[in-house]
Amino acid sequence: MNRVARGQAWATKSSRLNLSRATVRNHADRIRQKVGAHSRIEALVRAG
């Protein structure tokens, strides 16, 4: 979620983590669902 908070693009996040964009996006979506958020912004507020 830290990289999401920084506003990095999916391509930037995935290249830094050596993962595909889809994998990074899927992980972020699962985290968002686990915290019960409807958007990335809401997930950041709830996680932080």
Count other Cβ atoms within 10 Å, centred on residue 26.
Answer: 12
At residue 16, the pLDDT reads 83
Tens digit of each residue's pLDDT (9 = 90 or more) over 1-48: 566 656 667 678 788 889 898 998 898 889 889 889 998 888 878 877
At residue 5, the pLDDT reads 59
At residue 9, the pLDDT reads 76
CA distance 15 to 36: 27
DSSP per residue, 1-48: -HHHHTT--HHHHHHHHTS-HHHHHHHHHHHHHHTT-SSHHHHHHHH-
This prediction's pTM: 0.65
